Amino acid sequence: MMKRIWALFQARNLEFLRDRSTLAWNLLLPFLLVFGLAVLFSGDGRPLFKAGVIAAGAVDAPLDQQLHPFLATRHVEFYRVPDSALGSAIQKVGRHQVDMLLDLRPGQMQYWVNEASTNGYFLQQLLQADNNPPLQASSVEGEQIRYVDWVVPGILGMNIMFSCLFGVGYVIVRYRKSGYLKRLNATPISATEFLLAQMLSRLVLVVFFTVIVFAGCHLLLHFVVEGSYLNLLIVLVLGTFALIALGLVVAARVKSEELAGGLLNLLTWPMLLLSGVWFSMEGSPAWLQWVSQLSPLTHLLEAMRAIMLDGAGLADIWANLAVLGGMSVLFLLLGAWLFQWTER
Amino acid sequence: MDAAMVPALKTVAQAGVVGGRLDAVPPILEVRDLKKHYPSVKAVDGVSFSVRTGSCFGLLGPNGAGKTTTIEMMEGILAPSAGAILYKGEPQGLRFRAEAGIQFQSTALQDFLTVREQLRLFQHLYPHGLPLAEIVETCRLESYLDRDASKLSGGQRQRMLLGIALINDPDVVFLDEPTTGLDPQARLNFWELVNRIKARNKTILLTTHYMEEAYNLCDEIAIMDHGRIIAHGAPAALLAHHFQDVVIELPWADFAPVAAQVAHRKLDKVQPVAEIVTRDVNAALDELLQLGVSLRGLQVRSRTLEDLFLELTGKALRA
């Protein structure tokens, strides 16, 4: 059994690596996207100062100067932060994503600012000019998270998704249409062996190329990686596996490449939009966030960002890992169950 | 598991041939009342025959007769609608997959692999692959072994596919229209290969729409049309059974002026050759002479499988 899987695994790898144009595209596209975005967003794109406010009262109650005269300052975007999100809001101040955080609840009356942030410094100067009732200062430290730091996992994840879904789904359908599956079906190889070989080949290639692109971008852009590289690799392998398994489901029976392309687009585009590739799903309607949890890409990206930006360990992202693992098993069983070599 | 049984069976088969008791050997393949019905068409509509161990069996028929559907059900690729297929007395199972060599009408392979890599891939898919050198020698692949398999000529490609079909040292080889689209030289070449395989006492199941090919290669043939077998037997026996006459051929130009007056039966053939069928050549020639036909371009030939085919199906073969 291993001999057969190994033979198919090697053959598929050779086929992929010798297809120069596809290979070049697989390497070039993610590089181009990362660098394109790095250039586009290199300046600070935010025209406003942005400050989070925790205050008593209803969630949609207005933030006005009755709470504190500072809130009347123009050209500052004050937005309400729920009490429960205090911790993550402080973290955002540390990463320069929010310039200042004010806690105006009675008895709290304090603010957080990152001394290293230009915007934070200016806001602090403004506040101190009229700090009445007085707010107590707290300093937060942390390196600035650029958009690039945030979007790199998204682009890598997007590339992995396309590579897995099309590289497995589309290729198996192509094999079926050309009649190659029919020829294999006439040999003693089983469907499971064939599918395993295809999965392993794609897994190894995708992980290999992702690591290359990751290393290349890292050298040139120095994006933030707080957590462990090993954990990142584990998440990468698991996420890739789940996406490949999803590709197997699409490819299980479809005989036409056009239909396969349509189905794959139907899957990839919503995932691209809803999984937080380009922008965070924070602040979008609850039902949309719920839908986004159905996408394996969401969990891959959440886990990658948690490791890279927050330095999370595997224990912190167990929920994402469990969902990815569960999806892998589900898709794999479904794909193997549905699989047909040819129309019978 | 099965490996231990295979040599034993082969010995039995050979003993049968040596002892001259061919009938005592059970058929390697048996098809009983096989049917494949699609919603709009009965592609195969009740076909029964058996294939003797070590023989070459030909399935003949025009395009759309049901040859490929039949052979693909026998290969285990298509599921029959009804009927049974027995391999060595049992339904096809894993053992059949391991012992059958298959060449489809059009076989697709993976891209970007050389001939050597293609052979090696399939060699590894079987429990007991033959050494590559043996395949290369048998199918004469030496000169293009390291070429990209998608850049071969038609004849080269068919030889490579035959090599793949032989790589598991099969007991039975299925060849579905293996020479369709080949030039005459490549076709002769391929026939020679098939004869080599036959010499190794392999059973061959062949479909073709070239009567000449069937006549040259097959020990037994079945002619199919509309999903049924309409004639079945050894080629020579079939001809002897259906025909006691011969064909007189004349250039159409010489024959045309008297065509309406000739009493002998004429074959419905395309010009430029007119064909007259007769059991008595002398009488036919007398008639032609009396009508004043020039006999300079005359030829007499015996009946061929092609005649039989046209007689039975009423269709032009290569249409």
- How would DSSP label each residue in B137-154? HHHT-GGGTTSBGGG--H
SS3 B36: strand
pLDDT band at B44 (very low <50, low <70, confident <90, very high): very high
Answer whether residue A46 shows pLDDT above 70. Answer: no
**Do residues A182 and A295 both lie within one domain?**
yes
| A344 domain-assigned | no
Nearest to B98 among A15, A185, A188 (CB): A188
Report CA dihedral (B192, B193, B195, B199) to the nearest 10 degrees: 140
Answer whether residue A47 shows pLDDT above 80. Answer: no
CA distance A181 to chain B (A): 8
From CA A244, how far away is CA A167, in angstroms rounded?
8
Please give the pLDDT value at position B19. 39
Residues 173-192 of A with CB under 8 A from B: 175, 178-180, 182-189
SS3 B91: strand
Contacts of B154 (CB under 8 A, 6+ apart): B181, B182, B183, B186
Backbone torsions φ then ψ of A210, nearest 5 degrees = -65, -40
Phi-psi domain of B196 (left: phi exceeds 0; alpha: psi -120 through 50; beta: other): alpha
Answer whether residue B2 shows pLDDT above 60. Answer: no
* CATH topology assigned to domain B5-240: Rossmann fold (3.40.50)
What's the CATH architecture for B244-302? Answer: 2-Layer Sandwich (3.30)
DSSP codes, A174-225: HHHHHTHHHHHHTSS--HHHHHHHHHHHHHHHHHHHHHHHHHHHHHHH----
pLDDT band at A99 (very low <50, low <70, confident <90, very high): confident
A315-322 average pLDDT score: 94
Closest CA to A154 of A96, A94, A214, A206: A214
| DSSP, res B206 | E
Q: Tell me the two tokens of residue A16.
A: 């992929």
From CA A160, how far away is CA A324, in angstroms rounded?
14
**Do residues A16 and A129 both lie within one domain?**
no
Per mean pLDDT, which range of B15-24, B125-134, B204-213 is the poorest?
Answer: B15-24
**Do residues A125 and A197 both lie within one domain?**
no
Please give the pLDDT value at position B268. 67
Which residue range is the domain that position A131 belongs to?
49-139
Q: What is the average pLDDT value for chain A, to the nearest integer?
A: 87
B15-22 — which CB contacts under 8 Å span 24+ positions?
B16/B53, B17/B53, B17/B54, B17/B201, B22/B52
Q: Which residues of A touch B167 (CB under 8 A)?
A: none
Please give the pLDDT value at position A323. 97
Strands A136-139 and A110-113: parallel
Answer whether residue A52 shows pLDDT above 80. Answer: yes
Please give the pLDDT value at position B293. 86
* Contact: A186, B75; criterion CB under 8 Å: yes
Distances B144 to B116, B131, B149, B150, B153 between C-alpha atoms, Å: 9, 17, 9, 12, 10
Q: Is A187 exposed, middle or buried (0-12, 13-18, 19+ CB in 10 A)?
A: buried
Nearest to B110 among A15, A182, A344 (CB): A15
Q: Which one of A110, A139, A168 terminates a domain?
A: A139
**Do residues A150 and A135 both lie within one domain?**
no
Q: Which residues of A touch B127 (CB under 8 A)?
A: 188
Provide the angle, in degrees to the nearest 10, between the axes of the packed helices A191-221 and A229-251: 140
From CA A51, how far away is CA A49, in angstroms rounded?
7
Contacts of A159 (CB under 8 A, 6+ apart): A26, A29, A30, A33, A210, A213
Tens of pLDDT, residue by residue over B246-258, are 888 888 888 888 8
| DSSP, res B110 | -
Tens of pLDDT, residue by residue over B83-103, are 999 999 999 888 899 999 999
The secondary element (H helix, E strand) that includes residue B31 is strand B29-37
Nearest to B110 among A180, A182, A342 (CB): A180
| A343 domain-assigned | no
Residue ranges of chain B assigned to CATH 3.30.70: 244-302
CA distance A2 to chain B (A): 10
Tens of pLDDT, residue by residue over A139-171, are 888 777 777 888 889 989 999 999 999 989 999
**Do residues A96 and A129 both lie within one domain?**
yes
Contacts of B159 (CB under 8 A, 6+ apart): B139, B140, B141, B189, B190, B193
Q: Which one of A76, A111, A139 terminates a domain?
A: A139
**Do residues A325 and A234 both lie within one domain?**
yes
DSSP codes, A108-143: T-EEEE-TT-HHHHHHHHHHHHT--S--EEEE----
Q: Which one of A87, A118, A139 terminates a domain?
A: A139
**Do residues A177 and A30 both lie within one domain?**
yes
From CA A123, how far away is CA A130, in angstroms rounded?
11
Answer whether residue A279 shows pLDDT above 90. Answer: no
Strands B203-208 and B56-60: parallel
Please give the pLDDT value at position B11. 34
Answer whether residue B23 shows pLDDT above 70. Answer: no
| A295 domain-assigned | yes
pLDDT band at B50 (very low <50, low <70, confident <90, very high): very high
Answer whether residue B24 shows pLDDT above 80. Answer: no
| A219 domain-assigned | yes
The total of structural domains in chain A comes to 2
**Do residues A114 and A202 both lie within one domain?**
no
Distances A176 to A23, A162, A289 between C-alpha atoms, Å: 22, 20, 37
Amino acid at A194: F
From CA B296, how far away is CA B294, in angstroms rounded?
6
Please give the pLDDT value at position A231. 95
Which residue out of A182, A192, A194, A341 would a mutagenesis test of the B interface target, given it has the greatest number of B Cβ atoms within 10 Å?
Answer: A182
**Proportion of chain B above pLDDT 90, given as a percent:** 45
pTM for this structure?
A: 0.79
ipTM above 0.95, yes or no: no
**Do residues A159 and A275 both lie within one domain?**
yes
Tens of pLDDT, residue by residue over B177-194, are 998 888 888 889 899 989
**Do residues A75 and A224 both lie within one domain?**
no
From CA B36, how far away is CA B78, in angstroms rounded?
9
**Do residues A159 and A224 both lie within one domain?**
yes
pLDDT band at A97 (very low <50, low <70, confident <90, very high): confident
Beta-bridge partners for B57: B205, B220
DSSP codes, A4-39: HHHHHHHHHHHHHHH-HHHHHHHHHHHHHHHHHHHH
Amino acid at A106: P
Residue ranges of chain B assigned to CATH 3.40.50.300: 5-240
Q: Which residues of B touch A12 (CB under 8 A)?
A: 110
Q: What is the average pLDDT value for chain B, to the nearest integer?
A: 85
A201-229 average pLDDT score: 90
Whole-angstrom Cα Rg for chain B: 23
Q: Which residues of B touch A18 (CB under 8 A)?
A: 112
**Do residues A298 and A154 both lie within one domain?**
yes
From CA B263, how far away is CA A266, in angstroms rounded?
72
Q: Tell me the two tokens of residue A154.
A: 């998204």
Please give the pLDDT value at position B269. 63
Answer whether residue A45 shows pLDDT above 60. Answer: no
Please give the pLDDT value at position B315. 56
